Amino acid sequence: MQNVLVTGGAGFIGSNFIRYLLNHDNAAHIVNLDALTYAGTLENLRNLPDEGRHTFIQGDITDPDTLATVFADHAIDTVVHFAAETHVDRSITGPQRFIQTNVVGTMNLLDAARQAWQKPDGYTNGVRFHHISTDEVFGALAAGEPAFDEQTSYAPRSPYAASKAASDHLVRAYFHSFGLPVTITNCSNNYGPHQFPEKLIPLMILNAVEGNPLPLYGDGQQIRDWLYVEDHCEAIYCVLEKGAVGETYGVGGENQPTNQTIVETICDILDEWLPKASFGSRRSLIRYVSDRPGHDRRYAMNIEKIRKELGWQPREDLDSGLRKTIAWYLENSAWIESIRAKPDFQAWMEENYGHRSVLA
């Protein structure tokens, strides 16, 4: 693993992975390809460790010519594929973009890797295509059902989940049809530094700091498996180093509170750290709003395979991870200001929540 192409590396998980790789692998040079759509920002790449081993290229995975040039010019031997449209609500209002990026873009990337690496007698030694996916491809769990694992049948319930399911199938198809050396991870809900504030945890942190309403879908009893982003990055690196070609690994945080519990915990930590707010207890800011269409009730990820075969397990529990996350948002006002400058995010917040949130 010498020349690593990270797609979507200016986004939330991608930028965290770049930091992790630069800190933990002294030999890796990273080529970061990102289209800089609304959720990607160069602010996520400020003050990288050992910046000389990071090259940023603005480009789109839906453009085959760009991909061919990147592979040829940088002798790419490893792909870590994060680039995707990821927000379920946006996929419901505009699914076409999700199919174009998540399905067509992934196919283009697979084909670029195959053309660059395939030789008459096989593939260049040591190459690897790693695809980042989601537990949402498996659908929803009812109360009492066992957690998803690598054998769970696919049953996506949103355009986002369907587009990621399709990309997973394409990755496996390139392994079986062309022998492309691939691995896949299906992760649970990530949280942590640099997450775009349309997602639950950063949205609630930023609104609660300023005393703005905390919009909670439905009855707030939806359950997610929350994975601290640096734990996820460590899992991906572990799969790259030790994972078997052609295999899939589930990655989760083993934290499964309700959304209401998540929001209340954020409120309580902020009340502890920033007491005597003029609006009183931050729990009083919670507002229940209409549930979104097709909102899955519960996700949970079984991580026994990656724990037993590769020795990985999460380091952060929910309290420690949330405290690290809240501290980062409180300490990084410049990053928040950079997000404020994105007009499409502001418009989307107003359309979906009726106000422009703390970022207005």
CA 195 to chain centroid: 9
**How is 266-303 classified by DSSP, letter by letter?**
HHHHHHHHS-S-TT--GGGGEEEEPPPTT---B--B--
Three-class DSSP category at 173 = helix
CA 318 to chain centroid: 17
DSSP 330: H
272: which 2 tokens?
A: 């502890």
Q: Which has the closest alpha carbon to 11: 175, 154, 132, 159?
A: 132
Instruction: Judge contact between 312 and 165, C-beta under 8 A.
Output: no
- At position 234, the amino acid (one-letter code) is E
**Which residues have a catalytic role annotated?**
135-136, 160
β partners of residue 78: 4, 128
Radius of gyration of the chain from Cα atoms?
20
β partners of residue 7: 33, 81
Report how far apart, in Å, the C-alpha atoms of 69 and of each of 29, 33, 61, 82, 128 are: 17, 12, 12, 19, 18
338: which 2 tokens?
A: 């950079």
Instruction: Judge contact between 49 and 25, C-beta under 8 A.
Output: no
Q: Which has the closest alpha carbon to 133: 190, 194, 202, 67?
A: 190
**How is 58-84 classified by DSSP, letter by letter?**
E--TT-HHHHHHHHHHHT--EEEE---
